């Protein structure tokens, strides 16, 4: 038991340092680009490169890990993420920064695959639901905490970038000192996006559009805040509140998903999120409290669309296809996160800061139309036959889908079985 607790504490500490440092850097870059008076169009193209790198990383880093091992791969990816953080202020070149964002996204994906594979290897059939929830809570709180560090120094100086690099480097220490045996990483198989769409079009559409919303907001939310006149401290609070809202709304909406038809829940969530985005676009930053409330509602509701999409899809899947379907939905989300920053940046250029939220409202209305059409033309899954709702999180690697409590194909790792046997003998 001591070994289990110690290994998890090392993992959790690494997650906290990594996620907070990465979230801090993402917001910092948006603010810095706005300070440099870069066109929103260009900002969108630069920042979307992170999503491109991340998607590529989830597809290919398992080959690197398999070749050199977990610890070495983790050290390489964490070092790459830290070095890129230090290189941003060295040259204000958009091409240079775009390359750095690709490398950063790829390296963060690699680090997450290593951490999440270790986390998954500690799970048993008895505790994986709890571990799944713990991981998500730690992730969201770390991301929110990272936003609050933004006002530590002037974004125009070198210091904040150095702090981000320090956090990413410190994430190396807990795992590098661990004595855990390396788990086996099995690349999650994927269905074709088109094949999955034929079976659950609402699920694929929900994952894709959620990627557009969240990817666009994380990339351009700091740009919006800067353009409407918020200072660095208020921008950090603005972004942190949005992330916390996403975590807080997951549970009550999960309860609704277990009591009502999930496609109808997604329809009303999309409509409410669209109305919130429209409210932000209309009222802007005239009242900071109202802005924070509406943005919190928008991001909180938008973030729940992905787990609802996963639940809708899994209700139509055999248990042995849940992991492959979830991997495909993650890919759909990743595609959306590439579309989002580019589309929203163009709208900001055309319509001003409000364009970010007019665009979000429009995409959410499209999702509402799609969902409404599917409700009227396809049969519902009876509520009593729906799987229990699990608040899946898209900002992860496909490895974590193995821990989904709905996955009946889950097998405990040999290391966990060995530890359990030792405990039985000791008892």
Of residues 3 and 17, the one with the higher pLDDT is: 17
Q: Output the domain CATH number for residue 280.
A: 1.20.1250.20
d(CA 218, CA 48): 10
Structurally, the chain folds into a number of domains equal to 2
Residue of higher predicted confidence among 371 and 188: 371
Percent residues over pLDDT 70 in the chain: 81
Do residue 211 and residue 152 come from a single domain? no
User: Domain range for residue 144?
Assistant: 1-183
**Does 144 fall in a domain?**
yes
Q: What's the pLDDT at 184?
A: 59
292 pLDDT tier (thresholds 50, 70, 90)? confident
Provide the b/e sequence for 378-408 (b: ≥16 CB within 10 Å).
eeebeeeebbebbbbbbbbbbbbbbbbbbbe
Verify that 86 and 44 share a domain, yes or no: yes
d(CA 398, CA 113): 8
Q: What confidence category does residue 1 fall into, taking pLDDT thresholds of 50, 70 and 90?
A: very low
Q: Are 199 and 111 contained in the same domain?
A: no
For residue 334, count CB atoms less than 10 angstroms from its CB and return exposed for 0-12, middle for 13-18, buried for 19 or more. Answer: buried
Pair (306, 390) in one structural domain: yes
* Average pLDDT value over all residues in the chain: 81
Query: Would you say residue 422 lies in a domain?
Result: no
Let me know the angle formed at the C-alpha of 373 by 367 and 378, rounded to the nearest 5 degrees.
120
- Of 9-13, 92-96, 397-401, least confident by mean pLDDT is 397-401
Query: 146-184 pLDDT, tens per residue?
Result: 888 887 878 888 888 999 999 999 988 887 776 666 665
For residues 57 and 117, state if they share a domain: yes
Q: What is the largest CA-CA distance in the chain?
A: 69
**Does 419 map to a domain?**
no
CB atoms within 10 A of CB 286: 9
Verify that 170 and 247 share a domain, yes or no. Answer: no
Residues 6 or more apart from 167 whose CB is under 8 A from it? 17, 18, 20, 21, 24, 146
Q: Considering the entire predicted model, what is its pTM? A: 0.85
In-domain check, residue 408? no
Please answer whether residues 103 and 80 qualify as being in contact, where contact means their C-beta atoms are separated by less than 8 angstroms. Answer: yes
pLDDT, one tens digit per residue, over 214-237 is: 889 988 888 998 888 888 888 888
- Mean pLDDT in residue range 343-357: 92
**Structure tokens, 381:** 């899954």
417 inside domain: no
Q: Of 183, 217, 247, which one is at a domain's C-terminal end? A: 183
Q: Do the Cβ atoms of 193 and 332 come closer than 8 Å?
A: yes
Which residue in this structure is represented by tokens 């939310």? 221
Higher-pLDDT residue of 258, 425: 258
In a domain, 421, yes or no: no
What's the CA gap between 15 and 175, in Å, rounded? 10
């Amino acid at each position: 038991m001591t070994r289990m607790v110690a290994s998890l504490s090392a993992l959790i500490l690494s997650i906290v340092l990594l996620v907070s440092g990465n979230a801090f850097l993402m917001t910092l870059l948006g603010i810095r680009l706005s300070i440099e008076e870069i066109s929103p169009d260009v900002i969108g193209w630069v920042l979307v490169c992170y999503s491109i790198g991340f998607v590529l990383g989830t597809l290919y880093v398992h080959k690197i890990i398999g070749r050199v091992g977990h610890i070495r791969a983790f050290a390489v990816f964490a070092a790459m993420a830290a070095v890129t953080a230090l290189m941003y202020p060295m040259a204000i070149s958009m091409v240079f920064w775009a390359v750095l964002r690709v490398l950063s996204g790829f390296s963060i994906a690699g680090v997450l695959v290593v951490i999440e594979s270790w986390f998954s290897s500690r799970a048993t059939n008895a505790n994986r639901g709890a571990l799944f929830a713990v991981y998500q809570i730690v992730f969201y709180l770390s991301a929110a905490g990272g936003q609050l560090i933004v006002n530590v120094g002037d974004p125009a100086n070198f210091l904040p970038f150095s702090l981000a690099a320090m956090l990413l480097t410190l994430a190396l220490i807990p795992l590098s000192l661990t004595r855990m045996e390396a788990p086996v990483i099995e690349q999650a198989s994927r269905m074709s996006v088109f094949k999955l769409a034929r079976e659950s079009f609402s699920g694929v559409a929900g994952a894709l559009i959620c990627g557009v919303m969240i990817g666009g907001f994380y990339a351009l939310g700091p740009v919006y805040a800067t353009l409407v006149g918020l200072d660095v401290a208020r921008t950090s609070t603005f972004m942190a509140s949005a992330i916390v809202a996403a975590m807080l709304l997951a549970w009550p909406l999960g309860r609704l998903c277990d009591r009502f038809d999930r496609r109808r829940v997604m329809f009303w969530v999309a409509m409410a999120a669209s109305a919130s985005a429209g409210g932000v676009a209309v009222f802007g930053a005239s009242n900071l409290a109202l802005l924070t409330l509406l943005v919190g509602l928008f991001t909180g509701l938008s973030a729940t669309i992905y787990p609802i999409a996963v639940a809708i899809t899994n209700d139509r899947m055999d248990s042995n296809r849940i992991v492959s379907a979830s991997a495909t939905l993650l890919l759909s989300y990743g595609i959306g996160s590439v579309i989002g920053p580019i589309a929203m940046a163009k709208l900001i250029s055309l319509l001003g800061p409000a364009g970010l939220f007019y665009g979000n409202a429009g995409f959410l209305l499209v999702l509402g139309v799609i969902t409404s059409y599917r409700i009227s033309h396809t049969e519902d899954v009876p509520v009593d036959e729906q799987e229990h709702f699990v608040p899946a999180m898209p900002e992860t690697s496909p490895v974590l889908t193995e821990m989904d409590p709905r996955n009946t194909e889950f097998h405990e790792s040999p290391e966990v079985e060995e530890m359990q046997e030792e405990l039985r003998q000791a008892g």
